[in-house]
Amino acid sequence: MTYLDHAATTPLRAEAREAWLKASVEVGNASALHGAGRRARAIVEEARERLAAALGAHPTEVIWTSGGTEADNLAIKGHYWQRRGDDAARTRIVTTAIEHHAGLDPVRWLASHEGATAVELPVDAVGTLDIAALRDELAAHRDDVAVISAMWANNEVGTLQPLADVVALVADAGVPVHSDAVQAVGHVPVDFAASGLTSLALSAHKVGGPVGIGALLLARGARLTPLTHGGGQERSVRSGTLDPAGAIAAAVAVEAAVADLDTEHARLTALRDGLIARLRTEVPMAVVSGPEDGTRALPGIVHLVVPGAPGEALLYVLDSHGIEVSNGSACVAGVVQASHVLEAMGRSHEDASATLRISMGHTTTTDDLDALMAVLPDAVQRALRVRQR
Ligand SMILES: Cc1ncc(COP(=O)(O)O)c(C=O)c1O
């Protein structure tokens, strides 16, 4: 099998598995006062320190969660309720039209259930947030905004977002800024302190840690309304028994990804550039999405639109040849849904359903891309014929 769906989840790193196995034999609830509890607590705290150090955060800024989805929900709902509780006029939630559903759906839910006004800012043709639209929004509604949420890097097309500009614009508005950095952590430099963000979501399984653990980095002094109430763990914003083995494996995975970042970035960029060059000659009808300038995108993602080819047909034909890729967007009952990201980039509904996302990671080699290119041209022709039937 050729696995090229690393943006969905990437293989567990050996060092993360080892750390998980070692910690998993310990018994003890990290909140208990006896020796076993203290040993469990020591593992969680070591993980907290290592994760924080890898990402330019203070250990007290790490709130363990079950992954990126929970971290985004906690941040967006938690900031909204907190800020609105402080000042009832603050009902606007400003986000981008290209967020992952983990960031977009909480905003839409707050709009339909909790009296929020959702503002989804536009992006340009390569998926970069229109910063002038944010400037206009703030000029008109500065005192009504409860929270701003803008992702660091897009999970479908890989475009990096102008977060420094977002933070600078909001600097004196008293508005928390959250970023979904699930695809950025371990792939591009992420320094929480330098970013000026109020909160940042990350997920271990995107960098070679286990599925089911992640974190919200929450700036010291920032307050959030909790979503779960109970034992008061994690600064009382995320109650629930802590997971020492998951936490240490997550920290080890992030640490390893950050340590390898420069070499991996260069290696994946070369693989991506080589693949794009081959696609242009061998599959000329495929249009590469995202920025031409690779420095403005994640190194591991190549996103294509194959006009006229149903996304699910492309996927199934490739899968039948042992090539595991994704369409990048959601799938309902086996049918690829038109990508809201592509539509926001100005593509037609049809093009937004004719997508393929090839995503590479720490185990990807040129052999994987050779295996893909051995079948892709024919797979595209077959998918186009499905459409014509
Ligand atoms: C940008 C982004 N945000 C959030 C998530 C959700 O993370 P998790 O799977 O840890 O809940 C993903 C996963 O696909 C993602 O790519």
pLDDT at 337 (0 to 100): 86
CATH number at residue 242: 3.40.640.10
Question: Which residues face 214 on adjacent strands?
Answer: 65, 203
pLDDT at 328 (0 to 100): 86
H/E stretch holding 101 reads helix 101-113
With vertex at residue 108, the alpha carbon angle to CA 103 and CA 109, rounded to the nearest 5 degrees, is 100
From 222, 240, 259, the end of a domain falls on 259
Residue nearest to atom 13 of ligand 1 (CA): 8
In the chain, the amino acid numbered 274 is G
From 237, 259, 281, the end of a domain falls on 259
CATH number at residue 338: 3.90.1150.10
pLDDT at 389 (0 to 100): 59
Atom from ligand 1 closest to the CA of residue 154: 1
Q: Which spans in the chain are helix H?
A: 14-24, 35-54, 68-86, 101-113, 131-141, 163-170, 192-195, 244-259, 261-282, 311-320, 340-344, 366-388
pLDDT at 388 (0 to 100): 60
Measured in residues, the chain has a length of: 389
Catalytic annotation on 331? yes
Judge if 41 and 52 occupy the same domain.
Answer: yes
pLDDT at 226 (0 to 100): 97
Judge if 252 and 274 occupy the same domain.
Answer: no
- DSSP 8-state class, residue 99: -
Judge if 223 and 267 occupy the same domain.
Answer: no
> What's the number of CA atoms in the CB half-sphere (13 Å) around residue 380?
20
Judge if 187 and 295 occupy the same domain.
Answer: no
Q: d(Cα 116, Cα 118) in Å, to the nearest integer?
A: 6
Domain holding 327, by residue range, is 2-10+261-388
Q: Is the CB of 310 under 6 A from ligand 1?
A: no
**Ligand 1 centroid to residue 99 C-alpha, Å:** 10
Q: pTM to 2 decimals?
A: 0.97
From 259, 285, 306, the end of a domain falls on 259
Judge if 281 and 201 occupy the same domain.
Answer: no
**Ligand 1 centroid to residue 178 C-alpha, Å:** 15
Domain count, the chain: 2
Judge if 338 and 313 occupy the same domain.
Answer: yes
Atom from ligand 1 closest to the CA of residue 204: 10
Active-site position among 14, 21, 270, 331: 331
Q: Is the CB of 13 under 6 A from ligand 1?
A: no
Judge if 42 and 176 occupy the same domain.
Answer: yes
Judge if 358 and 241 occupy the same domain.
Answer: no
Q: Is the CB of 242 under 6 A from ligand 1?
A: no
pLDDT at 383 (0 to 100): 93
Judge if 64 and 185 occupy the same domain.
Answer: yes
Q: Is the CB of 30 under 6 A from ligand 1?
A: no
CB 361 within 8 A of CB 209: no
Judge if 163 and 45 occupy the same domain.
Answer: yes
Question: Which residues face 218 on adjacent strands?
Answer: 199
**Phi, psi dihedrals of residue 357, rounded to the nearest 5°:** -115, 120
| Residue linked to tokens 């294509």 | 304
Q: What is the mean pLDDT of each run of 10 residues along the chain (389 residues)?
A: 97 98 96 96 98 98 98 98 95 98 98 98 98 97 97 98 97 93 98 98 98 98 96 95 98 98 98 97 96 92 96 94 91 80 97 96 98 97 81
Judge if 30 and 174 occupy the same domain.
Answer: yes
Judge if 6 and 22 occupy the same domain.
Answer: no
